[in-house]
Every structure is written in structure tokens, then in C-alpha cells.
Amino acid sequence: MNGKQKDDSLRSVSRGKVALADQVGPRQEKMMDRELKEYNATPLVGLRTTVCGSAILNEVDDTVEVPNLRELAAAAAVARCLMPIRLRGYEVKAIRKIMRCTLAELAKRMDERTAPETVSRWESEAQAMGGYAEKILRLVACEALTADAPGVEYKASMIAELVIIDPWRADPEFEVPSIVLTRVRLKEQSGSIINAWEKKAA
């Protein structure tokens, strides 16, 4: 994600059918939009994420639109931080990017003694992250992102009580389960209704 992309939506484009779009009018094109039952949003988020019932496929130009991408990424990051499976380097990097932090900014948020080079080594898996450091990272990420992820239940105590396991010790081919999110309407304490990404129960 870069600064020029809109936070509320993003289109991932395949050029296979673009020429067909010139042959249909706006009304016909609108009718060819179709909601996908499931969509693999991993390339958009950076974490293994599946979107249920909210991604829209435009069959004319073969593009997929995912609404509220910023909130989707935040919800995926919070949900992943609450998962009791050790974070891999690429996930640390994805979470940092979702937080919109540089290496130096994330290091400072974690601890004044944490160096940007240390965070970089975690991301490249050149250095293993200790259990305490990983909990601090998860806590910092959740505190930064929870406002954009109201559909994912979070309390700081959930991180404190988390028992993190390392399944790769027993199975080097282990894959982190996909975070499954669906878009729902939530009522805030103020009474206003908002759209939010909610983690589906396993």
C-alpha cells in the first residue's frame, strides 16, 4: 500500500478482459458486478487473509474491489496479533507497514533500547524475536490499530495472557491459518452505525 492509494478501496487488476469494457455501457457494466463468496486478500494485506462476501468482481474488466481496505488491514493485523502462533518475519513487516511505521518508529514505540536494525533482523528472520519482545510488538500494534478494527474484540489483557507457540519446530511446512473476515454493520456507543470488518468464528 502506498500513500496515493485510497484507504476506502483498492482495485487489483488483471488485464485479460479490459478490451471488452469498451463494448458495454455503464448500466451493463454495473450489472456485471458480482459479490464474491470468498476472496484471497493476502496480496493486499500482507497477512494471510480471506474476505467473505464483500469483495466485488467486475466481470467486464476482470477487477476486484475490496471496500475499506485500511480497516481490513487493521482488522487482519489485530486478529493475527491475537493468534497464539509465533509471528514470522514477513508478518512483522506487514504489521509494521499496516501501522505506517518506519523501522525506527516501530523500534521507538517498542522500547527506547530497541534499535531499528533489530527490527530489520526480525523481519528478515536473521534474528529470532524473544517472547517478551514479541508480546510488546503485538501489544503496540493492537493499541495502534484497534480503533480501525472495531469488529475484532481486543483487550490488552488478551495479549498478556497469550501463550505463544512455535509450530515450525515440529513441522517446518506449517502454514499460518488464514484470517477470515466479513464486513458487518456495528452500532457505536454514540448510536451511529458503522461498517466494520469482523473476524469469523472458526
- Distance (Å, whole) CA 157 – CA 159: 5
Mean pLDDT of the chain: 85
Could you tell me the residue ranges of all domains in the chain? Answer: 71-177
The reported pTM is: 0.81
**Neighbouring C-beta atoms of residue 43, cutoff 10 Å:** 8
* pLDDT tens digit sequence for 2-41: 444 434 333 333 322 323 333 334 444 455 688 899 999 9
- Beta bridge pairs of residue 186: 194
Over residues 162-194, the pLDDT tens digits come to: 999 999 999 999 999 999 999 988 877 777 888
Grid coordinates representing 132 are 517478551
Note the pLDDT of residue 201: 65
